[in-house]
Chain A
């Protein structure tokens, strides 16, 4: 058997997906990065190892994606390191080859991907701020003392949504507080916030892009039923949230690893599930070669230097992605 592993290291969550040679999902792991990507990756690999029977698994390729993709690639030994946009698109196309629009809203950024005839023709990433991303929702849920998992359901209960400014989190938050002090109910404020975030997303990230059906909505925020409802209402179209919406990036990375293997037949660089037992260490130093004072980061596995990056001029770079691609 041949299996392929995808690892998606985002700022908020780290996701892993294992697929077989048919591209079917065998197992997934979703956990929080909590500012420690290396630990999260190890924990994810460990979680994967425990829930599969290792004897019947033969990992032939590994792909990494997400903002921590280069680091992840180094840690697990990736065969392909790809940006999140391509990974998300590849995973969604596998579900529905006719997909035209993908909304992806994660912890720190949001994206829109426009496809036509099975290829990406345009994309956008949020350029203004974190308004509309998972972190802001997290923060507001915490402020209102509502578990983030229930946040969306509160919005669904509302019958009288309040208008909240959506352009910037600063405006949104002060508007929310103001409305709350006027005596509006929590559920109505939350519904207003969901509507505001969707408006912000459509006006900024999706600005000027033609949104056609089928529309897919994925990333951590797609779990939020309030946001889902607001999208449907605003667009007047069906918005599909795939069952694995949280791990779509990882699935895409795994599919890309599969493709890479099928086209090159190269032996995988995967360090194996045993990597969790190894000691990974990072060390940083400030280069004093010029006033840029770049912060150079070095990655060690069991005291062996495996990668180094962070410098502008390239004098230190020992980039894993150089070895891979």
Chain B
């Protein structure tokens, strides 16, 4: 099988690749997201669908062009329209004449047998222990990538040389990509964390603005789609804390294994006064994260939404009230296929100014 996966930041291109290549498949990754990916997605996807569907469709087309024959993706019930996306993408690609098979990993809802069947296929006759070993390694890479990316968010606003942090991160990730043991991953992680620490140490006392990044999963995590918002904010002197990350998302998909997802419960509870039930997607947790960020004494939050995303639009409307009640600034950014960045940069710049102005004692001069 020549397996491919949708792009999602560094996660699928490193951890996803590791998993499937260790299972003995040839992995053909889609090229990094570019305007061409976007163009292909926009051309063939239904107009009213959200950007994640379009970009991922573009990924699949580009990967199939490179020779992939099996698409691995996620889908199934929930969390929003996304549940149907793999099916729609499959139909579109078939109608375009591509020959491939699509394996959509779905959280089992009563139908464990189908899930086990898929796993069996992917396992490719490997013994269970070696399957588990591959899984563990990929999971370790997955966790490390997220951890390093999060630490980079702390280092970037404190760096003295612009781009230093991104370089350290890139080097660390590339080492992780090329290693195949959990011990090595751990070593690389410690080394990279040390490098970040060096950067942080130089400006330890610098009082940076702290912003929580919340919103729709894919837009928040895919830098091409969100126009590198984390890096842009970092350069504006903002420490970003991710409200969205992939690991809890996956563990929440595996909720049927563990009922006690504590972190999720805290977020849900925080959102309760404003939105007592799930509205699909990350709608409710967006609100929960904002409430928690305010309680933690952070300076503000930025919500990122793909245009036409229902759950986030619900959250956006409620956020106005949350923001007013808690006196906590929230900036909402809606992403679609535009590639011009001027409007985005202006909004970010103005929002950061606003947050700084709110703290006159901390930023007495620069407005």
| Residue pair A85, B353 in contact (C-beta under 8 Å) | yes
Q: Name A121's contact: one of B35, B36, B329 (CB within 8 Å).
A: B329
| Residue pair A90, B346 in contact (C-beta under 8 Å) | no
Stretch at the interface among A13-21, A164-172, A275-283, A289-297: A289-297
Give the interface size class of chain B: 20 to 34
Query: What are the interface flags for B160-171 relative to A under an 8 Å C-beta threshold, 1 for contact and 0 otherwise?
Result: 001100000000
CB distance from A217 to the nearest CB of B (A): 19
| Residue pair B349, A120 in contact (C-beta under 8 Å) | no
A67 within 8 A of B: yes
| Residue pair B163, A121 in contact (C-beta under 8 Å) | no
Interfacial chain A residues near B366, Cβ < 8 Å: 259-260, 263
| Residue pair A314, B34 in contact (C-beta under 8 Å) | no
- Residue ID in chain B nearest A88 by CB atoms: B350
Complex: A280 Cα to B64 Cα, angstroms: 47
Complex: A242 Cα to B317 Cα, angstroms: 33
Q: Name B346's contact: one of A83, A119, A256 (CB within 8 Å).
A: A83
Complex: A17 Cα to B343 Cα, angstroms: 24
Query: What are the interface flags for B26-52 relative to A under an 8 Å C-beta threshold, 1 for contact and 0 otherwise?
Result: 000001101111000000000000000
A204 within 8 A of B: no
Interfacial chain A residues near B32, Cβ < 8 Å: 290
Stretch at the interface among A43-51, A122-130, A187-195, A228-236: A122-130
Within B350-367, the residues touching A (CB, 8 Å) are 350-351, 353-354, 357-358, 360, 365-367
Interfacial chain B residues near A119, Cβ < 8 Å: 354, 357-358, 360
Interfacial chain B residues near A293, Cβ < 8 Å: 35
B126 within 8 A of A: no
B334 within 8 A of A: yes
Interfacial chain A residues near B365, Cβ < 8 Å: 259, 263
| Residue pair B320, A208 in contact (C-beta under 8 Å) | yes
9 shortest interchain CB distances as A-B pairs:
A85-B350, A291-B36, A263-B365, A83-B349, A119-B357, A291-B34, A292-B34, A86-B353, A208-B320
Residues of A at the B interface (CB closer than 8 Å) are: 67, 82-86, 90, 109, 119-123, 125, 127, 208, 256, 259-260, 263, 290-293, 314, 322
27 A-B contacts (beta carbon < 8 Å): A67-B342, A82-B349, A83-B346, A83-B350, A83-B353, A84-B350, A85-B350, A86-B349, A109-B343, A119-B358, A121-B354, A121-B358, A122-B323, A122-B329, A123-B350, A123-B351, A123-B354, A208-B320, A256-B367, A290-B31, A290-B32, A291-B31, A291-B34, A291-B35, A291-B37, A292-B35, A292-B36
